[in-house]
């Protein structure tokens, strides 16, 4: 089996076009998130300040922190699809993972700030509440719900760690908006029917959701950290890759297989045993077939390094 230079050039051009398509889809989703955060942040801060709603102002500040996260995500996604070069022979995929790690830090900081604001609101009850703030919080919740489902679907389809992190950021914002809806709605009803203690609804809901956001930030940060230190992929993924390798004729045994996540793609190292009587050329062809088999079966795999060992009858 011989692959000509023209064939390789066509494969590389096709791969480049796919990379550009995936980049455009990721960038569009990231831009939608960025513009949404800018609009929501401005509206919440203005309306919250006008109608004296500290929870809505805090939620607006939280969206303001998301603007920075979105900018980081946009830059990382554009950089992560740059082709491999002499200094970065494995590509730039981990840039996106670093961005995901930074977003988790932003989320954690925003959650801590929201807890602080909620505790202060419990100690210093504010005066009145208004239906406009409730409407803004409801609109924010619905829009963030849409953004979460839209972004997580594209992020998982394209195996984009940065976009999935952005989706979880939208989810955290959605939960925060839900807390604001619950808090403002409860306090507004208590004020409407002259029920005492209504001011506690807003800050208590804020604390609960802030703790949820802290957990999301921790989970996201740990996932990114494990990729950065090149932890092996899951055992189920390795088992699937192993099955693909064993499909190739003349592969007698898999001596070792390792795979590491490199952002939106996976790199694999595999050692296989093939009959010792095969020629070097035949061993080379088997190694190339293993690479093509893995990359055809799993689109997330970008590079496969195959080491061929001799296999004798007594090895069985």
Residue ranges per structural domain of the chain: 5-228, 235-315
CATH architecture of 235-315: 2-Layer Sandwich (3.30)
The residue among 198, 170, 181 whose CA lies nearest residue 138 is 181
Report, as an integer, the average pLDDT of 214-239: 81
Put simply, whether the predicted model's pTM sits higher than 0.75 gets the answer: no
Report the chain's mean pLDDT, rounded to a whole number.
79
User: Is the pLDDT score of 228 beyond 80?
Assistant: no
Q: What is the CATH number of domain 5-228?
A: 1.20.1510.10
The pLDDT tens digits for 155-192 are 888 777 777 878 888 888 888 888 888 888 887 788 77
The pLDDT tens digits for 71-110 are 766 666 666 556 666 666 555 566 767 777 887 887 788 7
User: Is the pLDDT score of 241 beyond 90?
Assistant: yes
- Is 165 in contact with 73 (CB distance < 8 Å)? yes
Tokens representing 142 are 């619905």
H, E, C per residue of the chain? CCCCHHHHHHHHHHHHHHHHHHHHHHHHHHHHHHHHHHHHHHHHHHHHHHCCCHHHHHHHHHHHHHHHHHHHHHHHHHHHCCCCCCCCCCCCCHHHHHHHHHHHHHHHHHHHHHHHHHHHHHHCCCCCCCHHHHHHHHHHHHHHHHHHHHHHHHHHHCCCHHHHHHHHHHHHHHHHHHHHHHHHHHHHHHHHCCCCCHHHHHHHHHHHHHHHHHHHHHHHHHHHHHHHCCCECCHHHHHHHHHHHHCCCCCCEEEEEEEEECCCCEEEEEEEEEECCCCHHHHHHHHHHHHHHHHHHCCCEEEEEEEEEEECHHHC
**pLDDT (0 to 100) of residue 12:** 44
The residue among 254, 263, 236, 235 whose CA lies nearest residue 293 is 254
**pLDDT (0 to 100) of residue 6:** 43
Distance between CA atoms of residues 138 and 135, nearest Å: 5
């Amino acid at each position: 089996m011989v692959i000509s230079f023209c064939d390789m050039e066509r494969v590389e051009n096709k791969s480049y076009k796919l990379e550009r398509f995936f980049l455009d889809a990721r960038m569009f989703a990231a831009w939608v998130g960025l513009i949404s955060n800018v609009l929501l942040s401005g509206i919440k801060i203005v309306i919250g300040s006008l109608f004296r709603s500290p929870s809505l102002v805090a939620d607006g500040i939280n969206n303001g922190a998301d603007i920075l996260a979105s900018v980081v995500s946009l830059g990382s996604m554009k950089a992560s699809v740059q082709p491999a070069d002499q200094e970065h022979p494995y590509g730039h995929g981990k840039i996106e993972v670093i961005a995901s790690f930074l977003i988790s830090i932003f989320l954690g900081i925003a959650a801590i700030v929201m807890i602080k604001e909620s505790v202060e609101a419990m100690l210093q009850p504010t005066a009145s509440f208004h239906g406009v703030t409730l409407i803004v919080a409801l609109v924010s919740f619905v829009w963030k719900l849409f953004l979460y489902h839209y972004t997580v679907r594209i992020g998982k389809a394209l195996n984009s760690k940065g976009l999935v992190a952005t989706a979880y950021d939208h989810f955290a914002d959605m939960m925060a908006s839900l807390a604001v809806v619950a808090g403002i709605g409860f306090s507004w009803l208590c004020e409407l029917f002259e029920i005492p203690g209504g001011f506690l609804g807003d800050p208590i809901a804020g604390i609960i959701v802030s703790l949820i956001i802290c957990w999301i930030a921790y989970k996201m940060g740990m996932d990114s950290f494990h990729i950065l230190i090149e932890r092996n992929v899951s055992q189920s993924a390795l088992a699937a890759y192993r099955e693909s390798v064993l499909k190739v004729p003349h592969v007698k045994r898999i001596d070792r297989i390792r795979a590491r996540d490199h952002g939106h793609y996976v790199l694999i190292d595999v050692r296989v045993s093939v009959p010792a009587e095969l020629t070097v050329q035949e061993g080379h062809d088997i190694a190339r077939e293993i690479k093509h088999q893995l990359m055809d079966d799993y689109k997330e795999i970008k590079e496969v390094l195959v080491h061929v060992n001799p296999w004798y009858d007594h090895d069985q």
